[in-house]
């Protein structure tokens, strides 16, 4: 399975600070784990001890300081963490940004600064502003994909200096399916690859999550699966589904270091009575056909 054993839902992309690896995940105040070796993980500090002031007005039904599906990227000496605030089954949602020059809580420069909403959706919108995923292209441009159900996966461009949306920039549609969310974009040999989740999460052993993929010559699409079907029209080649007691894998992220691609995700652990959502990390390779493949779990 590649299981790391600890309970995590919606893990962020792995990021490194000094000699430690970090992930952020759904939880109160944006929860964290830290590791020296990508195998043994311990809890890190939450970002927030109190909900940001804007949450009560923007998403009044959010309860308990619950922050969903964060993602992180290091940009020019700052760690940008994007997190979602929403409530189940509704698209009154927002993705916001918080920054820190370091992730090391013992560093004297350690301080989280909340920059508020980057993109939001209301009940009158046809999209849902949750599940952010960051990608910085070779030309330095910064992008964020996001989305859950409704009209599917969206893409906006961000200003790498501020982390906020480029003013008056277009919102692109990348993929659509009846049950779709949790996008992630990476690049290999000049092509862009879009991972998404189909199916239902958060049901323990009954979860039907599975990871689908397509690729494009441009970051804004169209993304086509292995059969050439556009992901906006329901295309999406199965990349990883349930395997035995490894149930409902989801929320892909790739961290590359020293020639190794580490593929992070959560799954519902069939060896646990409640099917707890658990972190898994496996290595990823690229096939001769240019498509990614997961190496056997270690």
Question: Which residues in 177-188 are b (16+ Cβ under 10 Å) and which e?
Answer: beebbbbbbbeb
How far apart CA 278 and CA 270 sit, in angstroms, is: 10
Handedness of CA 163, 284, 187, 277 (dihedral sign): negative
* Three-class secondary structure of residue 179 per DSSP: coil
Which residue in 237, 251, 177 sits closest to 207, CA to CA?
251
Handedness of CA 159, 147, 93, 98 (dihedral sign): negative
181 assigned to active site = yes
Task: Assess contact for 162 and 196: CB atoms under 8 A.
Answer: no
How far apart CA 231 and CA 211 sit, in angstroms, is: 13
Instruction: Provide the token pair at 205.
Output: 């052993």
Task: Assess contact for 79 and 101: CB atoms under 8 A.
Answer: yes
**Phi, psi (deg, nearest 5) at residue 206:** -95, 5
Looking from the CA of 129 toward its CB, the CA atoms found within 13 Å total: 23
Helix boundaries (H) for the chain: 55-58
Among 181, 225, 269, 276, the active-site one is 181
Strand arrangement, sheet containing 172-175: 133-136, 142-146, 153-158, 172-175
20 assigned to active site = no
Residues tagged active-site: 10, 181
């Amino acid at each position: 399975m590649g299981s790391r054993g600890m309970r995590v839902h919606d893990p962020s992309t792995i990021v490194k600070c000094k000699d430690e690896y970090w992930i952020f995940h759904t939880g109160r105040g944006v929860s964290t784990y830290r590791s020296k070796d990508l195998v043994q993980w311990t809890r890190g500090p939450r970002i927030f001890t109190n909900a940001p002031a804007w949450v009560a007005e923007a998403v009044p039904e959010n309860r308990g300081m619950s922050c969903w599906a964060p993602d992180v990227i290091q940009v020019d000496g700052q760690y940008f963490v994007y997190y979602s605030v929403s409530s189940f089954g509704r698209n009154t949602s927002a993705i916001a940004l918080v920054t820190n020059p370091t992730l090391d809580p013992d560093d004297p420069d350690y301080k989280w600064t909340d920059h508020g909403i980057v993109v939001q959706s209301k009940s009158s919108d046809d999209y849902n502003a949750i599940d952010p995923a960051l990608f910085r292209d070779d030309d330095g441009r910064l992008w964020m994909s996001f989305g859950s159900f409704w009209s599917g996966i969206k893409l906006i461009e961000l200003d790498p200096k501020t982390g906020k949306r480029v003013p008056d920039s277009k919102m692109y549609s990348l993929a659509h399916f009846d049950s779709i969310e949790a996008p992630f974009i990476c690049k290999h040999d000049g092509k862009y690859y879009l991972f998404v989740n189909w199916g239902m999460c958060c049901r323990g052993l009954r979860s039907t999550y599975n990871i689908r993929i397509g690729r494009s010559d441009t970051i804004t699409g169209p993304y086509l699966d292995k059969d050439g079907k556009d992901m906006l029209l329901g295309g999406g080649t199965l990349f990883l589904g349930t395997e035995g007691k490894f149930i409902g894998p989801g929320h892909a992220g790739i961290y590359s270091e020293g020639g190794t691609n580490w593929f992070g995700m959560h799954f519902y652990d069939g060896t646990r009575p409640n099917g707890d959502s658990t972190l898994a990390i496996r290595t990823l390779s690229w096939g001769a056909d240019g498509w990614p493949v997961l190496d056997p779990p270690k």
